[in-house]
Copies of this chain bind each other. A is one copy, B any other.
Amino acid sequence: MQLYDSAMAPNPRRVRIFLAEKGITVPVVPMDIGKAENRKPPFLAKNPLGGLPVLELDDGTCIAESVAICRYFEETQPQPPLLGTSATDRALVEMWQRRMELELFRNVTGCFQNTHAFFKGRISQVPEYGEVCRNAARARLAWLDGELASRPFVAGERYTIADITALCAIDFGRVSDIRIAPEQKHLQRWYDAVSSRPSAKA
């Protein structure tokens, strides 16, 4: 198998951290998103939507979408569990992963895509919407700070995929001036803990 990857983009990092936490090594094919290599053939045969990362299995099956790739590795190597354990826990991890993705990650990337020069000419930018995203992402950080007052990790007592999504969102937010505020002590404590894990370098 091999993983089509990009060192620049936030979604591929989610999978790299997930793999590092599992202790799994996968051969990587670096793609140049600056040259839109992922938006042209032959890559479009692997993912017609052009997104990265993509995991190509030995039989040629291509799995796109970061969380779907994580699901594949959770199924094939369950330890350590990063997507939950019991039925209730798996549902709660999925809830928190989705909240981190839809409420935080998507606002961070929505701000970047609609305000940053990188996306000029690549998509129909709407700067006003980018500002809505920036404000929403900042509001979600304040909310997350309150949530983290009562538990060590986003989804509870254990490190999960929800922490990975939140970490990648927050690190990618810096370029759009979306940052942990000085008074957000719980969020900062959590951030220091998850970003000092060896996997965060992935």
Interface residues, chain A, with chain B CB atoms under 8 Å away = 48-49, 57, 61, 63-65, 67-69, 71-72, 75-76, 86-88, 90-92, 94-95, 98-99, 103, 114, 124, 126, 128-129, 132, 135, 143, 147
Contacts and interface: CB of A to CB of B under 8 A. Distances in A.
Looking at chain A's contact residues, the main secondary structure is helix
A98 to B, nearest CB: 4
Contacts of A48: 143, 147
B68 A95 contact: yes
Contacts of A88: 57, 61, 63, 72
Copies in the complex: 2
Contact of A72 (B69, B90, B103, B132): B90
A128 B75 CA distance: 42
A92 B69 CA distance: 9
A92 B49 contact: no
A63 B49 contact: no
B76 A94 contact: no
